[in-house]
Structure 1
Amino acid sequence: MLLGVIADDFTGASDIANTLAKGLPGEGGLAVTQYLGIPKSPAAASVEAGVISLKTRSAPVEEAVAQSLAALEWLRAQGCEQFVFKYCSTFDSTPEGNIGPVGEALAQALGAKGVIACPAFPTVGRTVHQGYLFVHDQLLSESSMRHHPLTPMTDANIRRWLGLQTKTPVGLVATSTVRSGAASVRKALDEAAADAQTLVICDASVDEDLVTLGTAAAAAPLLTGGSGIAIGLPSNFIRSGRAKGSLTPFTGVEGPAAILAGSCSSATRRQISTHAQNHPVLALDIDAIMAGSFGAQEIVEFVERHAGQAPLVYSSDDPAEVELLQTRYGREKLAHRLDGLFADVARALLAKGIRRLVVAGGETSGAVAQALDLEALTIGPEIDPGVPILAEADGRIALALKSGNFGAPDFFEKALKMLQNGAEH
């Protein structure tokens, strides 16, 4: 294994696994396996990049750091030469959050300073300029992310935001330096390291900026960021002859299917609305769930009644309603109950023979993936930017784990078709 990735949630892990598997046009990517949690056994010899999916984005800091260091230890044991700490392209965190502490802990373990920190993903409208994070043409703090139920983003200055979480100063490599080329970036990072700056926000507005950052970091032990930071990394290994640039084929999985959506993002709510025009959907009654009068059995029965019709079950709602529910039941209690419910549903559906499963939302995807007890998944074709097909090697089940903000309006129907056919039709 050449490259090891530690992702703070399951959809983000799929996102960067997809980026590494694709690589640059004309060059190809790496042979990637996504691990759901820290593996208990060594990786297969054919794996060139291993992506460990953790569920640490909203975990207590000490727990997130401990799990991330344990993941690093396993990846180092597989022979990895370089590591990436992957977090969300919208920098989902709080002033007391985990991005800074985990990034600093990994850097300390690897003896690294002047470490790139770049959440940019231009393909889906996430760009960084002068240390400010934009979502399309809006500052992050003016986008729908300001209403995120767990990690409301109220400051687009991610250098300042990250500085609230770190013990060491946070640096900045501005656009003018990035556009000057990889050597200029490398010099700026070396200067940041000399100034005792552990994490350094790097601007990026187009994919070419991310390729420049990847080239500059060819010899760096650690990078941090969104999946975009990995765009240029496969080339470093392929051009040196250490990787082959191949993609694991995926021919599709037949069988029953279902969709579970736990994200409240505007993109997911739009996708639910689109899907509801032609398919059965079930909006969860949160009050009934919290009262214990509605649960997994009723949800599974709904899915079974609508077998073959791409049934969708969701807990998504507009920000105002979500805030009312959080006030009524408590934010953590509500999130814990819904994650547990979706996990129970996923286990029951798998036991009843579900073969294709689409899940929307980072926390929901993490709960479902852990519940299914899947250790390793291969990376198939990309459904929409940032969302690949994931499949067990034995073909038992194929998954799509979608970040709440990702995907076109028709994502759910498209995803189920690609899980079945292996290509869009």
Structure 2
Amino acid sequence: MNAHTDHALPEGPLLAYYGDDFTGSTDVMEAFTLAGVPTVLFLQPPSAAWVQRFAHMRCIGLAGTSRGRSPAWMREHLPTAFAVLQAFGAPILQYKVCSTFDSSPEIGSIGQAIELGVAAMGGAWSPMVIGAPRLRRYQAFGNLFAAMGGTVHRLDRHPTMSRHPVTPMPEADLRQHLAKQTPRRLELIDLVTLHAGHGPEALAPLRDAAAPPVVLMDVVDDRTLAEAGRVIWEERGNGVFSASSSGLEYALVAHWRHSGALAGGAALARTQPAASMVAVSGSCSPVTAAQIAWAQNHGFATERLVVERLLDAQVAQAEVARVVTGAVQAVAAGRPPLIYSASGPDDPHVVQFPEAAMRAGVTVPQAHAMVGQALARCMQEVIAQTGVRRVAIAGGDSSGAVASALDITALTVHSQLVPGAPLCRAWSDTPAMDGLEIVLKGGQMGGEDFFGQALRGTAA
């Protein structure tokens, strides 16, 4: 079985991960940093000098955009990314997925990523942890549940995920959902088994070095979280690949603490108020829509990008310039600008987006990319013209497009803000970007006053 029962953590990196979007990548950083496990997230493959600069880190991430990509794109790009991460020598290689399992056979295929990751890492099994109670995500008997507001919904009945514009979730049983993306054998260690402490015994007959199965692990509370972490860490063998949410990090930390391998967590600083801030959002989530509405009613200068104009090459530049001018004027007047392209799933601009793309003669993925590029240009211009030092980006795909355009090499966690979306410190060879404070927020993250928190901080 090749179990590891020594409770002391080995030297060097403990885990390396590829994030399928930028917001989820910072979520992993937060989970480990809170536990006192130093973590760095690279936004591009690092040079030898940058690797040396962060040589003390115990977890290394590489942010990506595969959540919005095709399986063909994954086959072209993920093997190189996995090889970069394997070079750090960590015993666990993770493909970090969203805790709402955003994926389909055509877009963001988690199954395709698993095939590539298992081929790269080997091992006799591939663990999967999606539940993360701190983020109010729960997996019970293979079914995924997620909270929205004060209510926990089965994912196929979730107000947002059941009708996601790109990867709607029609099935809450993750084995059924994943089976459409990979022919690999899918197994489950359920919460009853984990509560009883019988995880390793349940795993033993499932291991198969010739055809490693994916083994999902239920997580609903602290006990199942820690037991899942114990099974993965003790049964990692010579190395294991895991497609998991940040639930994997929370599970490992829970086990390491329980075993005495890890002391108490790091006390993250509270976020201080900023003199000014600029925010951009491409999120279609109703949670983000409520946050935009809050901002409109609390002093933010909101500027909507008209997406139909962004898809027209003749007027796209003028549309960006219009919005940038308004945002720069707002900063000069002491009002934080918020630039957005959508306001919830029922926004007519969202509902009619496929038709707008067709009229423009582009595919829907190409149209999404054009909106992301416009948001990135807005952010670049506002930073350049105002010198603002704190920025917020809402939406997984938007975060990837915007952050990638800012010439940032790496991020580390700066201070706490909201669960799953910490304030980060940017590292760059470009002086204007080095030290920038940045928060990347997934569509489902944060309360109604998120943008207010990002501006005024949590110190009070």
Give TM-score scaled by structure 2 length: 0.83
* 3-state DSSP of counterpart to 1:232: helix
Residue correspondence of structure 1 range 392-411 to structure 2 within 5 A: 392-393=426-427, 396-411=435-450
Distance 1:48 1:248 in 2: 17
Distance 1:37 1:64 in 2: 16
Residue correspondence of structure 1 range 80-119 to structure 2 within 5 A: 80-96=90-106, 97-119=108-130
C-alpha displacement of 1:10: 0.3
RMSD: 2.4
* 3-state DSSP of counterpart to 1:312: strand
1:20 matches 2:32: yes
**Retained in 2: the 8 A contact 1:253–1:398?**
no
Structure 1 residues 21 and 155 mapped into 2: Cα distance closer, same or farther (>3 Å)?
same
| Aligned twin of 1:346 | 379
1:214 matches 2:229: yes
Tell me which of 6, 19, 22 is aligned to 1:10: 22
Distance 1:359 1:372 in 2: 12
**Retained in 2: the 8 A contact 1:104–1:198?**
no
| Aligned twin of 1:26 | none
Residue correspondence of structure 1 range 15-414 to structure 2 within 5 A: 15-23=27-35, 29-41=36-48, 42-43=51-52, 44-96=54-106, 97-136=108-147, 137-143=152-158, 144-181=160-197, 184-194=198-208, 196-219=211-234, 220=236, 221-234=240-253, 256-278=276-298, 279-291=300-312, 292-293=314-315, 294-307=318-331, 308-320=334-346, 321=348, 322-330=350-358, 331-352=364-385, 353-393=387-427, 396-414=435-453
Q: For residues 153-183 of structure 1, give each alpha carbon's deviation from its aligned partner in whole angstroms, at most 9, with x where no partner exists.
A: 11112111101111311111111112122xx
**Retained in 1: the 8 A contact 2:295–2:451?**
yes
Q: For residues 336-383 of structure 1, give each alpha carbon's deviation from its aligned partner in whole angstroms, at most 9, with x where no partner exists.
A: 210110111122223222311100000000001100021111112221
Structure 1 residues 115 and 311 mapped into 2: Cα distance closer, same or farther (>3 Å)?
same
Distance 1:2 1:373 in 2: 28
Which protein shows a greater Rg? 2
* 3-state DSSP of counterpart to 2:233: coil
**Retained in 2: the 8 A contact 1:310–1:413?**
no
Structure 1 residues 37 and 236 mapped into 2: Cα distance closer, same or farther (>3 Å)?
farther
**Retained in 1: the 8 A contact 2:93–2:121?**
no
C-alpha displacement of 1:385: 1.0
Distance 1:270 1:349 in 2: 24
Q: For residues 99-158 of structure 1, give each alpha carbon's deviation from its aligned partner in whole angstroms, at most 9, with x where no partner exists.
A: 111122212221123222122122333211111111233221111212212111111121
| Worse overlay, 199-208 or 409-418 | 199-208
C-alpha displacement of 1:193: 2.0
Where does structure 1 lack aligned partners over 5 or more consecutive residues?
Answer: 24-28
> What is the percentage of aligned positions where both structures have the same residue?
27
Structure 1 residues 248 and 413 mapped into 2: Cα distance closer, same or farther (>3 Å)?
closer
**Retained in 2: the 8 A contact 1:261–1:313?**
yes
Distance 2:325 2:379 in 1: 13
Give TM-score scaled by structure 1 length: 0.90
* 3-state DSSP of counterpart to 1:119: coil
* 3-state DSSP of counterpart to 1:407: coil
Q: For residues 309-339 of structure 1, give each alpha carbon's deviation from its aligned partner in whole angstroms, at most 9, with x where no partner exists.
A: 1211111234242122223324223212101
Structure 1 residues 21 and 163 mapped into 2: Cα distance closer, same or farther (>3 Å)?
same
Q: What is the number of equivalent residue pairs in this alignment?
A: 414
- In structure 2, what residue type is equivalent to 1:190? A
Structure 1 residues 254 and 132 mapped into 2: Cα distance closer, same or farther (>3 Å)?
closer
| Aligned twin of 2:431 | none
Where does structure 2 lack aligned partners over 5 or more consecutive residues?
Answer: 1-12, 359-363, 429-433
